[in-house]
Structure 1
Amino acid sequence: MKERTRELLETERRQALTRLADLTDDFDAVVSASRDSNADDEHDPEGATIAFERSQLQALVRQACRHLDEVEAALDRLTEGTYGICEICGQPISEGRLEARPVARTCITCAAARR
């Protein structure tokens, strides 16, 4: 079970790194394209679209970074022997929850109580 979980988390990490690299490339392309034009966000009709794309990509990059951090933390918990244990109540996290969300830090009950 532990080895299968490690493989799953390693796959999640590779996918997150690939997504982050792709998003970073996309962001760099948008920034480069807007730098090469004389457009400004305020006066150019396309400026608002470029600003929106840049903002959207920044949000996606932050989201990918957070997910990568979550995966890394889950791998650390696996190494430490605390993976699958709720960080709030100390009870086991159900297998179903861990299958659906391998980076889960809390059981369903504690997660629901935090909302």
Structure 2
Amino acid sequence: MDGKTPERDQDSFVEFDDARAILLVDHERTTARIRALGRDFTSIVEDSELSATDDEHDPEGTTIAFERSQTSALLGAAVRHLADVEAALRKIDEDSYGRCEYCGEPISRERLRARPAAQTCITCAEKTV
């Protein structure tokens, strides 16, 4: 990475402003999702402490352990996504938005339109999968 920021023409200013607006909405939505999942997780844990059921052998559906695990995984994914959104917002402020974290090349406009919080170009993203 050469440390240069991407040149910004009039069109890219509009895109950066659009990206910021989209990311701010995503931030708000993700924060609300984290709060809701946190409440769900707490409720599952509290319910399991108050219940004397044998959920391991209950033929009536999913186990409490499964619900807790699933909610925990969703919560973890939401927290990681929020971190990506916050990183993208910082990059917009620092004029480094739209550059791949690995190779330093520009991230395609199409990718940023589809995934505004993307931190890597398609080539590097495919290498990490």
Q: TM-score range by the shorter chain?
A: 0.7 to 0.9
TM-aligned CA deviation for residue 113 of structure 1: 2.8
Letter in 2 for 1:75: L
How many residue pairs match? The answer is 114
What is the distance in 1 between the residues matched to 2:105 and 2:39?
42
Residue of structure 1 in register with 2:31 after alignment: 17
- The higher relative CO (CA closer than 8 Å, separation ≥ 6) is in 2
CA RMSD after TM alignment: 1.9
Letter in 2 for 1:112: E
What is the distance in 2 between the residues matched to 1:87 and 1:105?
6
Residue of structure 1 in register with 2:19 after alignment: 5
What is the distance in 2 between the residues matched to 1:51 and 1:113?
34
Q: TM-score, normalised by structure 2?
A: 0.79
* Gapped regions of structure 2 (runs ≥ 5): 1-13
* Gapped regions of structure 1 (runs ≥ 5): none
Deviations 1:60-88 (Å, cap 9, x if unpaired)?
11111000111111111111111001122
What is the distance in 2 between the residues matched to 1:64 and 1:105?
16
Residue of structure 2 in register with 1:69 after alignment: 83
TM-aligned CA deviation for residue 39 of structure 1: 3.1
SS of corresponding position for 1:39: coil
SS of corresponding position for 2:63: helix
What is the distance in 2 between the residues matched to 1:99 and 1:21?
27
Q: Identity percentage over the alignment?
A: 48
Report if aligned partners of 2:84, 2:119 keep a CA contact under 8 Å in 1.
Answer: no
Letter in 2 for 1:28: T
TM-aligned CA deviation for residue 27 of structure 1: 1.0
What pairs with 1:35-114 in structure 2 (closer than 5 Å)? 35-39=49-53, 45=58, 49-114=63-128
Letter in 1 for 2:110: G
